[in-house]
Amino acid sequence: MLEALGLTSTAAAVYRAMLDHPGHSVEKLAPMCSLTPDQVHDCLNELTQLMLVRASSEHPGQMRPVTPEIGLADMLARQEADLAARQAQLAASRAAVTRLVAERADTRAAHGERLLGMDAIQTRLELLMRGVTTECVGVHPGASQRPEDLAAGREGNADAIARGVTVKSLYQDATRNDPHTTSYAQWLLHLGSEVRTAPVLPQRLVIIDRTQALVPIDPADTRKGALHVTEPGLVRALVDLFEQAWATAVPLGATRTEDPTTGLTDTERELLRLLGSGHTDDAAGQRLGMSSRTVSRHMASIMERLNASSRFEAGIKAAHRGWL
Residues 124 and 237 in one domain: yes
Number of domains in the chain: 3
Q: At what angle do helices 311-320 and 292-306 cross, to 10 degrees?
A: 60
Residues 57 and 123 in one domain: no
Q: What percent of the chain has pLDDT over 70?
A: 85
Residue 50 is part of which domain span? 2-66
**102 within domain boundaries:** no
Three-state DSSP at 17 gives helix
Q: Kindly state the helix (H) or strand (E) to which residue 185 belongs, with its residue range.
A: helix 179-191
Position 153 scores a pLDDT of 84
**7 within domain boundaries:** yes
**157 within domain boundaries:** yes
Residues 128 and 244 in one domain: yes
Residues 243 and 135 in one domain: yes
The one-character DSSP state at 66 is P
Residues 305 and 182 in one domain: no
Closest by alpha carbon to 209, among 136, 153, 138, 139? 136
CATH code, domain carrying 129: 3.30.870.10
Contacts by 8-13 with C-beta closer than 8 Å and gap 24+?
A: 8/43, 8/46, 10/35, 10/39, 10/42, 10/43, 11/43, 11/46, 11/47, 11/50, 13/43
Residues 242 and 288 in one domain: no
**104 within domain boundaries:** no
Closest by alpha carbon to 131, among 165, 168, 89? 165
Three-state DSSP at 40 gives helix
Q: Kindly state the helix (H) or strand (E) to which residue 228 belongs, with its residue range.
A: strand 225-229
Instruction: Supply the pTM of this predicted model.
Output: 0.53
**88 within domain boundaries:** no
The one-character DSSP state at 259 is P
The one-character DSSP state at 144 is -
Position 110 scores a pLDDT of 43
Residues 208 and 273 in one domain: no
Locate the DSSP E strands across 16-160.
Answer: 53-55, 63-65, 114-116, 135-140
- In the chain, which residues have pLDDT < 70? 1-4, 96-112, 254-263, 276-277, 289, 312, 315, 319-324
Residues 244 and 310 in one domain: no
Residues 236 and 119 in one domain: yes
Residues 290 and 195 in one domain: no
**71 within domain boundaries:** no
Query: How far is residue 281's CA from residue 278's CA, in Å, rounded to a whole number?
Result: 10
- Contact assessment for residue 75 and residue 7, using Cβ atoms and an 8 Å cutoff: no
Residues 213 and 274 in one domain: no
**95 within domain boundaries:** no
63: number of Cβ within 10 Å? 22
**257 within domain boundaries:** no
Closest by alpha carbon to 225, among 319, 117, 152, 107? 117
Residues 247 and 272 in one domain: no
CATH code, domain carrying 299: 1.10.10.10
